[in-house]
Every structure is written in structure tokens, then in C-alpha cells.
Amino acid sequence: MGTVFSFDVRDRATDRIRAAVREGVAWLHHVDAEFSTYRADSRVSRIRRGELAVADAGPEVAEVLGLCADVAEVSGGCFSLTYAGALDPTALVKGWAIEHASRLLADAGATNTCVNGGGDLRARGESAPGRPWRVGIADPLRAGRLATVAVGGDFAVGTSGTAERGHHIVDPRTGRPALDLASLTVTGPSLTLADAYATAAFVMGPAARGWIETLDGFEAFAVLPGGRTWETTGFSRAAGTARVGRKAP
């Protein structure tokens, strides 16, 4: 998927947990093979070329495209499963894949884990006895610095922004780059949705805060191009967040 993944398991290693890590790694490779827009033999690439009908692409593709359609609807078109007219579910599929990999570890008996894919992650339990997970959110305007630190247990963190790839997020309603925010982080119970919601909210710009406030269980933290920040009313409370940046009015 063009990024680095890590499995951080703080439980005592057992044969089941070791097997689950191997299964999780294999799962991520499988998702890449099925959904990559860069691999000519992936199902998504075959659909894009007209060689495979969506109805014949299998249940995993149907599930992901259905989830994309749901987010597109709830976001008023600020999220799209197409890019430049071609099918492209990558804004959701990475979070979906990580969520499933995290669940594989939980099903194997691991209770204290963190699966991270390019800074989007799903954490469970504790990093050490009595210590929650601490998740640094990169400052998109100052390389090597943090904008904030989210602290919590059973939660997901998804971020969209300019820190790694510059202005690459396009508003599907206009076809132009979304420029009103520098980064937008969403926390919540599911990385599948947190990751997709972060993309949609980044596109919304000034309207993002009010929209996230309507989503049950999800909160957001944003960095503006000038360096100011804002957060939803429950962000600090939901994730136990320690804020580092400057808060906007």
C-alpha cells in the first residue's frame, strides 16, 4: 500500500499470537494484491480497465465499495470512491485492512496491541501495565515536531494532511486540491471509519468541525495552514489528549 506497517504486541508471546501476527501480515499483502491501483493484476485495476464487473469481484470488494458509498453519502459527497473518474477506494481500504488485522490479534488472545500503517493505527488495551498508548500526531508545518499527542486505550487514530505527501487530497466536488487545512486527525472506535472520515473532513475545511460533532463516538483535531489548531468538544476527553499546538478560536 505504499507505506510501512508495524505490529506492536505487548502481551506474552504465545503460539496463537505468533500465528495471528503472521496471518495479519499475510492479510495486508492480500489486501494490497486485491485493491492496489498500481498493480495491474489487482481486482480494482481490472475493474478500472473494464475486465471485471464489480458484481463479480467478490465479497471483500463489495464490502469496501459499500463502506465507501456510505461515507460518501454521510459526508455529502466530500468523500468519493473514484479519483479522476476511475475507481479508487484507497482512502478507506487501508483503515479497513488495519482494523481487520487488529481484530485477528484480539481473537488470538492478545489484549494489548497497536497496529500501525503509515501513521494510521488501531490500539487496544495498554502499552504497559497501567500505562495507556500515546500516539503522536505529526505537525504538518514543522518537520519532526508533534502537533499533539493522543493518549488512550481502545481507540483508532486516522490522519489526513500534507505532512508526508503535500497537497494530494482532492475535493471530489470540484476536482481541485483541498487547501483549507494542513492536517485533520479523527479518533474513534473504528479505523475503517476514522480514516475515511479524516479524508472527508479534510476536504470540508471550515465545515469539518461541525460535521465531526454530529458523528457518534468520533472526535477531531485539526491544524490550519497558518499553524493555528482546533478540536471538537470531546477530543481531549475521548482520547485523553495532551495538546501541544496553538488552539484557534
Which residues have a Cβ under 8 Å from the Cβ of 226 and sit 6 or more positions away?
none
- The CATH code of the domain that includes 99 is 3.10.520.10
Distance, CA of 198 to chain centre: 7
Q: What is the rounded radius of gyration, in angstroms, for the C-alpha atoms of the chain?
A: 18
Specify the pairing of strand 113-117 against strand 120-124: antiparallel
pLDDT above 90: percentage of residues in the chain: 86
Question: What's the pLDDT at 238?
Answer: 59
Read off the C-alpha cell for 58.
Answer: 467478490
**Grid cell for residue 114:** 497497536
What pLDDT band is residue 164 in, cutting at 50, 70 and 90?
low
- Other CB atoms within a 10 A radius of the CB of residue 56 amount to 10
The count of C-alpha atoms lying within 13 angstroms of the C-alpha of 72, restricted to the half-sphere facing its C-beta, is 17
Number of domains composing the chain? 1
Evaluate whether 65 touches 77 at the Cβ level (below 8 Å). Answer: no
End-to-end CA distance of the chain: 37
Query: According to the model, what pLDDT value does residue 38 have?
Result: 94
Higher pLDDT, 42 or 242: 42
Q: Output DSSP code: residue 248.
A: P
Handedness of CA 236, 239, 242, 243 (dihedral sign): negative
Cα–Cα nearest to 76, from 171, 195, 169, 161: 171
Rounded Cα–Cα distance for residues 64 and 96 (Å) = 8
Domain span at 171: 5-247
Using 50, 70 and 90 to split pLDDT, how confident is the model at 207?
A: very high
* Mean pLDDT computed over every residue of the chain: 92
- Flag whether pLDDT at 166 surpasses 80: no
What is the reported pLDDT for 165? Answer: 64
d(CA 105, CA 110): 5
pLDDT above 70 (res 122): yes
pLDDT band of residue 245 (cuts 50, 70, 90) is very low
CA 121 – CA 195 distance, rounded (Å): 9
Joined together, the cell numbers standing for residue 97 give 485492512
Q: What is the tens place of the pLDDT at every residue in 43-67?
A: 999 999 999 999 999 999 999 999 9
User: According to the model, what pLDDT value does residue 239 have?
Assistant: 53
Give phi and psi for 122, each to the nearest 5.
-125, 115
Q: Which of 244, 10, 230 is nearest to 150 (CA)?
A: 244
d(CA 43, CA 49): 10
Which phi and psi angles does 145 have, rounded to 5°? -110, 160
- Residue 239 or 118, more confident: 118
Question: For residue range 219-238, what is the model confidence (pLDDT) as tens digits?
Answer: 999 999 999 999 999 898 65
